[in-house]
Amino acid sequence: MQNTMAVTEIDFARKWLIELTLKDNNVIGKLELSKQNNHWIGHTEEGPVKVSIDGSSIALTIDSRNLEGFVFERNLTGKLLGDEITGTYYVVGTENSAAKTASWIGRCIKIPATKGTSILAPSLLIFLACGYLSPDGILDNSQWI
């Protein structure tokens, strides 16, 4: 059951496991969001992420590269409810995008604590669990990182 209490911007300042739905394969990775000096900062395995947050709404721009080094962006928008963000995304910078608009979900990363409770995971460097993925959704597992 999801928490229906009012969401504030600070509720985004966590570590997230995100999953982007694609035609044949999903992309799974981690995202870290924090607020420093009144500015939102985001990081994934690809590096810094552009972040815009307004109440319970979020917009992210994630720079990505395919195996050939071609740069493209994934633009995500979503709403936070409890420990989940749900929304849609689209790819910019490629003519052959299989997913013009698709869905994504972010789940707060928690780790077990000592007394049967849970706390937010302490540190995070980002990875893509699915290997390298081109902007058109073609998965290449031969290049694991």
123, part of any domain? yes
* 71-128 pLDDT per residue, tens: 888 999 999 998 899 999 998 876 555 557 889 999 998 765 544 444 443 333 233 3
Domain count, the chain: 1
Q: Is residue 99 situated within a structural domain?
A: yes
84 domain residue, yes or no? yes
For residue 41, tell me if it sits in a domain.
yes
In a domain, 70, yes or no: yes
| CATH number of the structural domain spanning residue 47 | 2.40.128
Residue 8 has pLDDT above 80, yes or no: no
Residue 145 placed within a domain:
no
Q: What is the pLDDT of residues 18-76, one digit of tens each?
A: 999 877 778 889 999 999 998 999 999 878 999 999 999 999 999 887 778 888 889 99
Tell me whether residue 2 is in a domain.
Answer: no
Look at the block and give the residue holding tokens 């995971």. Answer: 121
Structural domain that includes position 20: 9-140
For the whole model, what pTM was predicted? 0.70
Residue 18 lies in a domain: yes
